[in-house]
Amino acid sequence: MSDYILEAVEISKSFPGVQALDGACLRIRTGEVHALLGENGAGKSTLIKILFGVYQGDSGKLIVKDREFGAMMPKLAYELGMAMIPQERTLVGHMTVGENLVLGREPRGRWGALDRNAIFRMADDCLQKYEIDLDSRVTANSLGAGAQQLVELVRALMCNARVIFMDEPTSGLTEGETQILFGIIERLKKQGVAIVYITHRLEEVFRLTDRVTVLRDGKTVANLNTSETTSAELVQLMAGKAVSEEKACSVPPGEEVLLRVTGLNRGSKVKDISLTVRKGEIVGLAGLLGSGRSELLKCIFGSDQIDSGKIEVRGKEYLIRSPKNAIAAGIGFLPENRRREGLCLKMTATDNIVLAIPEKVFQYGVTNKKRRTKIAGNSARDVDFSPNYMDVECGTLSGGNQQKALLARWLSRNSDVLMLDEPTNGIDVNTKSEIHNLIRQLAAKGKGILIVSSDFPELLGLCHHIIVLRDGRITMDISNSELTESELLGYAAGQHMGA
């Protein structure tokens, strides 16, 4: 028996116009935590889909537990003990944790009826075995993101999974939840379960993993022991060139107040929020998950209705009841979930960019391709969006390009204030710094920018001013120059209350 529980050898796969994988290899040992790194578009998702039989590779072979397969099938992968914890939760929300855990394999009582007691007994046994502190009788909806993820993990383990793929498992988790997850990963490792850990967060790679595989342009460019590499080396391997250090914002903001929010309230999520964004200023909204940051942006944008409060743009008060009002006032918004709330995925980049600017696109009620191309092209150039992608369906673009298309949308409207919710979430290192530079440039051109991010170094590197939210209230409103990362984390977690 070989050391490896799972081997993917020389896997190639091409799609029309794209060589997604070009002889990629991935070898996973029993009981190791293995990081799979690569920029967006490097071929990680394609490789995983081939491993799980969602796609068939053009060439190459898969070896699982010493058995060789030319191609995988989803059911076979499951039977071989492979499991995937996707980034998006897949629990049935209205069912209890226990029911979710045994879904599809429910124990039957007399006459084939469901045996509810046996369900919870099975679930509790398993939760105990892996020392996971969860109540099997609460509904999945009532759990936080971290707990839901643990349920998915346990579900995989109950199916005797021996190789578990986790895609960006800590995105959306609080610091506490992350620590719990890491503890469980360590325990699973001791029990011989192999974890393939897909992430963009390098500190987690060093914290957690034994070995690293780096993909670039569909090829495996490195297969290293984590202890023998550095984060600079990994970044370089992923990007294929050295990435310059992030520098803090240098252009000071102007005097004119572009956005002034006073006494904004909505239910329990947004409480008495007042803030200002000046011309050329980048204001960061920090806080933990559930602190009301995204809700605040949605209130300002009119996507959620406010209970009370005042919103002024360029000194003029606007009654904002819908996104239409906010857009007319000069506000642009990049939602947290690009794919679900931002883009029409089957439409081209051009059509997505011009979607918010009908009055220019439609003259006397009609439009033509030429006019759309011209308007979209101009703002696409401003955000370095490649002209080659203008007629490409947005669903096939990388995260970074999708984000640029969304930025271009608001630039074409010439919005004064841009609100960005997690603008670099799930975006690779290289593109991330490109987006950061874009944001700085936009500020330098006089836009006011309000940015929500869970990535504290990002906020510290970008913002003039940082506002910390906790439970829907502002707990700190401070100039960036006075802040360090640990202080910021402290404010967000509520350790420095009253400081």
Which residues here bind other proteins, judged by CB under 8 A?
Answer: 15-17, 301, 303, 322-324, 326-328, 333, 335, 340-347, 351, 355-356, 358, 362, 365-368, 388, 390-393, 409
- Distinct helix (H) and strand (E) counts, the chain: 17, 20
**Tokens representing 323?**
């996104």
Instruction: Pick between residue 262 and residue 303 the one whose CB is nearest to other proteins.
Output: 303
**Nearest alpha carbon to residue 410 among 401, 400, 420:** 420
Instruction: Pick between residue 323 and residue 494 the one whose CB is nearest to other proteins.
Output: 323
Residues 452 and 336: their CA atoms lie apart, in Å, by 9
Contact 390, 349 (CB under 8 A): yes
Radius of gyration of the chain (CA): 24
Instruction: Pick between residue 217 and residue 393 the one whose CB is nearest to other proteins.
Output: 393
Instruction: Pick between residue 17 and residue 104 the one whose CB is nearest to other proteins.
Output: 17
Instruction: Pick between residue 247 and residue 381 the one whose CB is nearest to other proteins.
Output: 381
Q: How far is the CB of 209 from other proteins (least distance, A)?
A: 33
Q: How far is the CB of 339 from other proteins (least distance, A)?
A: 8
Q: How far is CA 91 from CA 70, 141, 149, 154, 209, in A?
A: 32, 8, 9, 12, 27
Residues 68 and 75: their CA atoms lie apart, in Å, by 16
List alpha helices for 383-418, DSSP H.
Answer: 399-413
Q: How far is the CB of 45 from other proteins (least distance, A)?
A: 14
Classify strands 163-167 and 194-198 as parallel, antiparallel or unpaired: parallel
Instruction: Pick between residue 208 and residue 296 the one whose CB is nearest to other proteins.
Output: 296
**Nearest alpha carbon to residue 445 among 494, 395, 410:** 410
Q: How far is the CB of 329 from other proteins (least distance, A)?
A: 10
**Nearest alpha carbon to residue 137 among 102, 98, 107:** 98
Q: How far is the CB of 373 from other proteins (least distance, A)?
A: 10
Rounded to 5°, the CA angle 495-497-498 comes to 145
Q: How far is the CB of 42 from other proteins (least distance, A)?
A: 20
Q: How far is the CB of 356 from other proteins (least distance, A)?
A: 4
Helix (H, G, I), strand (E, B) or coil at 60: strand
Q: How far is the CB of 57 from other proteins (least distance, A)?
A: 15
Q: How far is the CB of 301 from other proteins (least distance, A)?
A: 7
Q: Terminal CA-to-CA distance of the chain, rounded, Å? A: 60
Q: How far is the CB of 261 from other proteins (least distance, A)?
A: 19
CB-neighbour burial class of residue 276 (10 A; exposed 0-12, middle 13-18, buried 19+): middle
Q: How many residues does the chain have?
A: 499
Amino acid identity for residue 369 in this structure: K
Residues 261 and 117: their CA atoms lie apart, in Å, by 53
How many alpha carbons lie under 13 Å from residue 271 in its C-beta half-sphere?
10
Classify residue 338 by its DSSP letter. Answer: I
Instruction: Pick between residue 356 and residue 483 the one whose CB is nearest to other proteins.
Output: 356
Q: How far is the CB of 355 from other proteins (least distance, A)?
A: 5
Contact 198, 171 (CB under 8 A): no
Instruction: Pick between residue 209 and residue 294 the one whose CB is nearest to other proteins.
Output: 294
Instruction: Pick between residue 332 and residue 448 the one whose CB is nearest to other proteins.
Output: 332
Contact 464, 285 (CB under 8 A): no
Instruction: Pick between residue 49 and residue 189 the one whose CB is nearest to other proteins.
Output: 49
Instruction: Pick between residue 111 and residue 364 the one whose CB is nearest to other proteins.
Output: 364
Contact 9, 53 (CB under 8 A): no
Q: How far is the CB of 111 from other proteins (least distance, A)?
A: 35
Residues 135 and 438: their CA atoms lie apart, in Å, by 46
Unique residue bearing structure tokens 């116009």 = 17
Instruction: Pick between residue 98 and residue 335 the one whose CB is nearest to other proteins.
Output: 335
Classify residue 339 by its DSSP letter. Answer: I
